[in-house]
Amino acid sequence: MLVTRYQYNPVLTKDDIPYPVSTVHNAGVTTYNNEYIMLFRSHKMNGRSILGLARSIDGFHWKADEQPFMEPAKEGIFKKYEEFGVEDPRITFIDGEYLITYSAYSRHGVRIGLAKTKDWQQVERFALITEADYRNVVIFPEKINGLYVRLDRPHSEIAPWSIWISYSPDLRYWGDAQRIIAPAPYHWDEMKIGPGAPPIKTDKGWLNIFHGVYPTMDGSVYRLGVALHDLKDPSKIIGVGDDWILQPEEPYELTGYVHNVVFTCGAIPENDGTIKIYWGAADTVMCAGTAKIDDLVNLCLNNSRPPL
């Protein structure tokens, strides 16, 4: 097994949150000073999502802050595009600040907001960095060839929903987009794929943990897979693991608000060659697990399917 579940999963549920929410899921994660930080999505009782913060010393035992961290904006351009909620945050630490990319839902569709924080107290919205019909934006933790780099997943009625790459000099204006990984027909990810955790640097390439969706007679199944991107040119795919690395198997993954879902927005590399990986289970609770980075890299190198 490539991912070992933490034995006391789930690690965070609605019962741990000091304000009323009906779910805790799809959290971005990072570290700050001596703490792990988890920025989780919660449905409020009106069905719309907000982002809450939890902190941990060991990455497994979490305590939520008293108040939500981000709710739909009350003013400016962000108010217009967040009125239906904020969802599925990813966190990247770069140039001394934390970048938070999140889905902003409104009557105009779903687009991606970029907010920044330095201290996990104050947060400042920076820009809306896509037009409508984009989700799952992850930003690389380093500039490459002088540019910020991101992966994302536009919606498409024409091509299967795929992973794209694009670049920016300033985090605001993005371009030179290319489609780099597509769903594979009659495969566990055949319906759609999307970036999950912000890419992790390894000596063999950038490790991209993504989600893939398979349609069944009983609804969609969300699983996780891995791809490896060239360190100097991440639009080049070294390999895409043919097998999934995690699928819904435990009761809290098989049943819940949306059954058969494991969905990641973040993983944290540790000094011992492992990662801690976090996933929302059944859109209801947060789970944690560990994996060896070499095992995930080797899957991409030794058992790869074509990226496109």
Question: Which residue lies nearer to ligand BMA by CB, 25 or 276?
Answer: 25
Does 26 interact with ligand BMA (rule: CB under 6 A)? yes
Q: How far is the CB of 117 from ligand BMA (least distance, A)?
A: 22
Question: Which residue lies nearer to ligand BMA by CB, 82 or 283?
Answer: 283
Q: Which of 70, 91, 151, 261 binds ligand BMA (CB under 6 A)?
A: 261
**For residue 158, what are the contacts with CB-CB under 8 A and spacing of at least 6?**
none
Q: Interface with ligand BMA by CB under 6 A: which range of 5-13, 246-254, 258-266, 292-300?
A: 258-266
User: How many angstroms separate the CA atoms of 15 and 4, rounded?
Assistant: 24
Question: Which residue lies nearer to ligand BMA by CB, 104 or 237?
Answer: 104
* CA distances to 85, 101, 273 from 78, in Å: 11, 13, 39
Q: Which of 24, 206, 283, 291 binds ligand BMA (CB under 6 A)?
A: 283
Find, among 170, 91, 77, 173, the residue nearest to 129 by Cα.
Answer: 173
Question: Which residue lies nearer to ligand BMA by CB, 228 or 285?
Answer: 285
Does 88 interact with ligand BMA (rule: CB under 6 A)? yes
Q: How far is the CB of 211 from ligand BMA (least distance, A)?
A: 8
User: How many angstroms separate the CA atoms of 202 and 140, rounded?
Assistant: 13
Q: Which of 98, 174, 222, 279 binds ligand BMA (CB under 6 A)?
A: 222
User: How many angstroms separate the CA atoms of 5 and 98, rounded?
Assistant: 27
Does 82 interact with ligand BMA (rule: CB under 6 A)? no
Q: How far is the CB of 208 from ligand BMA (least distance, A)?
A: 18
- Residue 107's identity, in one-letter code, is R
Cis peptide before 160 (omega within 30 of 0): no
Q: Where are the alpha helices (DSSP H) in 64-213?
A: 76-82
Contact, 182 vs 162, CB < 8 A?
A: yes
Find, among 302, 288, 273, 206, the residue nearest to 8 by Cα.
Answer: 288
Q: Interface with ligand BMA by CB under 6 A: which range of 145-153, 235-243, 255-263, 291-299?
A: 255-263
Question: Which residue lies nearer to ligand BMA by CB, 28 or 239?
Answer: 28
Q: Which of 132, 147, 258, 301 binds ligand BMA (CB under 6 A)?
A: 258
Q: Residue 163 CA to chain centroid, in angstroms?
A: 13
Q: How far is the CB of 232 from ligand BMA (least distance, A)?
A: 32
List the interface residues with ligand BMA, window 94-133 (CB under 6 A): none
| Chain contacts with ligand BMA (rule: CB under 6 A) | 26, 87-88, 222, 258, 261, 263, 280, 283
